[in-house]
Amino acid sequence: MIFKNIKFIYALLLVGVFACDPMQDVYDDLDKGSTGGVTSDVAFTMTEDDFELALPIAENGSDSSSMNSFYNFSDEQARKYIPYILSKKFPQLAKGSSANVTYAQYQGSSSTANTYSRASVYTLDAEDYESAGESVGMAGFFSPSYPASAYVPAILLAEVQDPTEDQVYGVSYKYSVTDPEFDYENAGDQTVYVEGFTEDISAYTVKEVSGDLAVWTYVIFSDGSAQGSGYSGGAQENEEWLVSPEIDLSGLTEAKLHMSHVTRFLDGNAVSDFLNVKISTDYTGDIATATWETVSFPDWVDGGSSNTAVEVEAMIDAYAGSKVTLAFAYKSSSTIAPRWQLAEIKVTTPGSVGVIAEDPTNMTDYYSYSGGAWSKDNGAYYLTAADYDAMGAPGQYDNFSSSVPADPYIITYLKTNYPFAQEEDELVVVYKYYSSSAGATQTRSNLYTVVGGSWTAYSAVIDATLLFAFDGTAWVPDNTIKITFGAPDYTWISENFKDKNPGGSSNMGTYGNFSCFEWSDDQIFDAITSRLDVIYSSIEEGQKYQVTYSIYCGASSEPSLAVIYQGGAWEKL
């Protein structure tokens, strides 16, 4: 009995020993992995953790932000940092391994939209309106019977020197929804000069007299204003003048200065102790050497708590017939720092005709230059003050911001104002955006496209894919042949796929690209590889290709298809 037990125990020990053998292959693979011995093809989409793997080798703050804040790469950053990420993420992979990496790629803002938001803007003046004919000249604005597009091309041709082909220009002008009527019995004032500070205060010059505070700045109050303030954490002792360009009053016998403004925080002090309007006929750039007279405004009083612009007037007949310069002299003390906002400065002279019409509004249209002529460009729309008001919250300051984002409001606006827009219709919308980081209001834009019946905003970040191979030392871009399809390729596909995909072929023949509404992924694969068979008459086994092609899926993009030729057939990578 004892002998049998001993044999039984011995048998169990043998079973235990040999039962471990099936795991040996796993252990061998793990050992291989620890020494870089596993060859494999991997494919993955980068997560936030993957981006952060590259932080130790970030070359600058911008790259660091891409890794731990924005979690996207530009194409250049991806090629620079993904090899390092792969080495950390897959240390066990050996020579011959490959990685197909999908990542969030920052492609930047729409180049189409940038064309408009970065375009120079020309603002029409009185002479420009006069060049459009007697009615427009007397009115000082365009209207339904006198549209800007009928006159602006000629104005730009005269004003823009040496335009380049396809150059885009913005044109700012005044427009009334009603045609002007002229009252010859009750002649109204004619505007000879106006500055509304709608974009900035760059037309004027800031002259520092004392103190180092930047007193005069641009603010968006009342569709844009010049603001003088000596307050910075408290009242600061400062004096600074805002000086106008030269104003030509030649040929006039009467002139009136209009100032639409707001003054506050004088705390009972006399206006003239801190705020004055000066005028000179001999100013040449140095306020100290010029002769200045103070302009008297009988109705100018402190606005108190009111934040509404009021207009005051002063006769300056003594300067009619001369060329003058205006200066808005601001002064503050250590205890009093008033705020002075100039919404509009205007000089008028009595005219023989009064203009009756709906109050004109500021508009901006875009024009492009081609073949020696300017024509209206309908690819973009510049939001007006009325548009912001109609949107609700944006109307408070006539701009968007981080707390009032543009895209949701603009998409609703487009849905309301373009109800019959068709699939694939596009429009660039140009708008004002207050940047808290810059502390300024900027001109921005975006491209909006009708996708599936709905307006969709262009996205600056898309999914992109890169291929890498491990050469035993480092991850390097795969030695894939890369090509980009052009017009001949789309023509060939359109002509040769009429039977396989009639609708897609017709669409491609019209637009010169794929459309995901007409082509499935498999059909695109078939079309591209069929074209490769024609382009490359002799294709080596195992050769890889990366084909970049144009496709429309609500917005145009250029994705890439990676394929390999093996076993006499094409396969996706």
pLDDT in tens, 538-552: 888 888 898 999 999
Q: Which single residue is written with the structure tokens 């897959």?
A: 90
Cα separation, 151 vs 145, in Å, equals 12
Dig out the tokens for 99 from the structure: 């990685």
Output the pLDDT for position 34.
Answer: 40
506-549 residue pLDDT tens: 999 999 999 999 999 999 999 999 999 999 988 888 888 989 99
In this prediction, what percent of the chain has a pLDDT beyond 70?
Answer: 92
Model confidence band, residue 291 (pLDDT cutoffs 50, 70, 90)? very high
Cα separation, 334 vs 439, in Å, equals 25
Mean pLDDT of 426-452: 96
Q: Tell me the pTM.
A: 0.50
Output the pLDDT for position 17.
Answer: 37
310-348 residue pLDDT tens: 999 999 999 999 999 999 999 999 999 999 999 999 999
64 phi, psi to nearest 5 deg: -60, -40
In this prediction, what percent of the chain has a pLDDT beyond 90?
Answer: 80
2 pLDDT more than 90: no
Cβ atoms of residues 88 and 55 within 8 Å: no
Cβ atoms of residues 179 and 144 within 8 Å: yes
Strand blocks (E) in 319-453 = 323-332, 339-350, 354-356, 361-370, 373-376, 380-382, 426-435, 440-451
Strand blocks (E) in 253-305 = 256-264, 275-280, 293-294
Output the pLDDT for position 89.
Answer: 97
Please, which residues have CB within 8 angstroms of residue 476's CB and are 6 or more apart in sequence?
83, 468, 469, 470
Measured over the CA atoms of residue 217, residue 220, residue 222 and residue 224, the dihedral's sign is: positive
The closest alpha carbon to 106, from 66, 151, 159, 149, belongs to 66
The closest alpha carbon to 464, from 560, 549, 547, 528, belongs to 560
Model confidence band, residue 380 (pLDDT cutoffs 50, 70, 90)? very high
Q: Of 193-202, 345-354, 409-418, where does mean pLDDT reach its minimum?
A: 345-354
Output the pLDDT for position 32.
Answer: 42
Output the pLDDT for position 376.
Answer: 98
